[in-house]
Amino acid sequence: MTPDRFTLHGRRVALAALIAAALVLAPSANAQPEPVPPVDTLLAHARERMRTEPGEALQMAEEALALAQHAGDTSAEARSLRTVGDIHYAQNRLDQALGRLTDARQLFETIGDRAGLAGVLNAVGYVYERRGEIPPALRAHLQSLELYEQLGDEENVARVTSCIGVFYMTHEDAARAVRYHRRAVQLYRTLDQPRNLALSYSNLGAALVDAGDYDEAIRSLRHALTFPEAGADQRVTAAASNNLGAALNRSGRPAEALKYLHEALRTAEKVGFDHLAEAICDELARVYLALGDLDLALRYAQRSLALATEIKDAHLTPIVHKLLSEIHASRGEYEQAYAYQQLHSAARDSLFGTEKAEIISQIQTRHEIEGMEREIESLQQQGRIQRLQAQQRHNALLGGLGVLVLVAGFAFNRYRLKQKANRLLTAQNEEISRQREALRAHLDEKSLMLEEKELLVREVHHRVKNNLQVLSSMLRLQAQALEHPAALAPMQDMQARVLSMAFLHRELYGEDDSTHVEMQRYIETLSRSLLHAFNADGRVHSRVPAHGARLNADTAVPLGLILNELLSNALKHAFPDERQGSVRVDLRRADAGDGYELTVSDDGAGWSGRAVPEQTATVGLTLVRMMTRQLGGTVQHANGVGLTHTIRFKAKGVRA
């Protein structure tokens, strides 16, 4: 058997039961009762035809259901209802699927079939998730996992563990996703299932990309592609290649990523894997956006949106809307960018609101607390058994014709001491329970206060971003009314500075952590915008290795203004007469502490025909020196093959 889900390209896609019946909807062979002809024969044929001939498959499953009901076989009826529900789910008829699966769940509970109940709970979780009902989806998956663990069914424990890992990837909880996928890797290694182990390594790599650990992600994904069993299944190979392309792109190697992504797209199209094709088109759009090829970026993003719309998965379209907003903004098409951003925000508020995130966290916490309580109950049960055994020994001593009064007195004394110890243990357990409830209430209160503060901060960033975009639009309109070049240039410079701050507040608003900025994405967005503004998209290329830096807003704001001035200066003066070239922005740690080094370099004309920066008092370079002093740093300029600016500074509140 195989895990229920593929995790794709470290961004969000939980491909539940749309891959294939054998991969997704069918429960493990360990969970199936002995076949009962002809019901189970019909159900087996129905599952074989679920994808290729869904109408005929549904007819067979309904016939099996009628036979089971006529024979009064409740177990066969439950299995038939499960199969009918799976077929409806595969055809995206979610209401019918949920109704049939709920009926199957009730029958499995009635007859005490825990294996069947575990399988149908996992299937119910898939349906709830695709309907956008996130808390009940997680609850169903966790209940399924708990039942399989109680049954000792290691294969299905591994399968559902992988499923839950993908669930957390979908809902942007990278830390929990990594934890569940690591456990799935360990389980499949123990089970000696190379094909599933390869897929689990691919899922783990995708989760590590979201967690920002690109080096380990690349190692995990390359390892996934070394399994011969992965190569035998083209879907596994395509998913791993897509995830590896995403990891390479995030780590600042977009050109290398293209090889794996185009190969993955060809395979996905060959096998008709639309979910994977949508994810790859999304990632290709991001790579071409990073490379500055905005036409190809727009083409692949539009293709991704078409596939997402066709698939009808509520989680996919808002992600593509955000990507299209970024592409149109880089092309200077601000009305389209704003429209897509509004679509993204509306859908995100519906799917990933803080209330649902809190509910998901509460469900996971409740699941862990219930596990602890079961352990306590087990220990208490052992204590009761021990007390019963002590009582039996005591009675045996008293019934031995009162052999020795001294022995009887000693045994009675031991009994009294044990009773006292048990009372002390009961009191301690009650005190522990009281303290645990008090701690839980305190944590709930603190969590609520933190969520409220986070909402306020995100709203501030959102409003600042909107105001800055309005100001930028007003400056652009004013600039269009100017005809003299000497008056137009300062207006364009001012618009670029306003946009640099707007981009930064947009990043803060879009992040789960509203106090820190992911510098890789911010610098890429800023450089693409400036390349487009100076009509340098095709002839000047930008490279931005930021090495996963996440900086506090107090550091990111002055640093963004510095970057805007240095990049604008390079695009204005380094490449005269439509000369081609490249600009590189490198942000890395300068030491083991909070020191950072920012290098902005070009391979253009250098100082030849340009003023030496130290001797220049332009507004831009004056602003660079002021912002550097604000960061407590130093700035140096060097002339070689082009011009290089190096700024060393101390960052506040750095997060890796």
Beta strand segments in 440-594, E: 516-518, 540-543, 550-552, 581-589
- Binned at pLDDT 50, 70 and 90, residue 99 comes out as very high
pTM, rounded to two decimals:
0.50
The answer on pLDDT for 13 being more than 50 is: no
Distance CA 85, CA 97 (A): 4
Peptide bond into 35 cis (omega under 30): no
Is the model more confident about 355 or about 287?
Answer: 287
> Looking at the domain covering 455-650, what would its CATH class be?
alpha beta
Is the model more confident about 238 or about 314?
Answer: 238
Distance CA 230, CA 242 (A): 14
Q: What is the 3-state secondary structure (H, E, C) of 317-348?
A: HHHHHHHHHHHHHHCCCHHHHHHHHHHHHHHH
* pLDDT tens for each residue of 509-548: 565 566 788 888 888 888 888 888 778 888 888 888 767 7
pLDDT value at residue 17: 26
pLDDT value at residue 232: 59
**Greatest distance between any 2 Cα atoms in the chain:** 120
**What would the mean pLDDT of 197-204 be, rounded to a whole number?**
90
Distance CA 266, CA 131 (A): 30
CB 11 within 8 A of CB 174: no
> What is the pLDDT of the chain when averaged over all its residues?
78
* pLDDT tens for each residue of 307-325: 888 877 666 788 889 899 9
Distance CA 554, CA 480 (A): 33
pLDDT value at residue 7: 47
pLDDT value at residue 655: 53
The answer on pLDDT for 329 being more than 60 is: yes
Is the model more confident about 642 or about 422?
Answer: 642
Query: Residue 90: beta bridge partners?
Result: none
Please, what is the Cα angle at 40 between 35 and 44, to 5 degrees?
Answer: 115
Is the model more confident about 42 or about 550?
Answer: 42
Would you give the end-to-end CA distance of the chain in angstroms? 38
- Binned at pLDDT 50, 70 and 90, residue 29 comes out as very low
CB 513 within 8 A of CB 554: no
- Binned at pLDDT 50, 70 and 90, residue 604 comes out as confident
Sequence spans of domains, the chain: 455-650
Q: Which residue bears the tokens 């510098």? A: 519
